[in-house]
Amino acid sequence: MRRRHSVSVLLYHYVWVPKYRRCILSKPVERMLGRLLREAAERAGCRLVEWAAPIDHVHVLVQCPPRPSPSRVANVLKGYTGYMLLRALPWLESGASRGSLWAPGYYVASVGHDAAIVGRYIAGQKRCC
């Protein structure tokens, strides 16, 4: 990403799961999730590079500037998508306790020069089940 006085290439690979690892990411949910992930990435000041949502987890590859920390980006991605999905699809709330769709944890790894490999891996995760 180009800023006024710097150039950076920081890519983060995130993985998180729905609460109780429920298989809720059906086709309609997946379509809406893609749009919401793009919006959430923009809110965090990042660019969505690749994403996939097999039936029980979410993979996201984002390019970010140095300023927002990886935990802040995860907070925005999970918080925004979870809130908007629960608002738009009330039937998802039946298994979500205390209004939270996603489990509290997540996985994040910084991706170096092998971003193309990680991107292909995420693209291959589209539908595993």
Active-site residue list = 121
Q: Which amino acid is at 69?
A: S
Which CA distances in Å does 121 have to 40, 64, 101, 113? 22, 20, 25, 14
Q: Which amino acid is at 90?
A: P
Cα diameter, the chain:
48
Q: How far apart are CA 26 and CA 31, in angstroms?
A: 9
Cβ pair 32, 101 in contact under 8 A: no
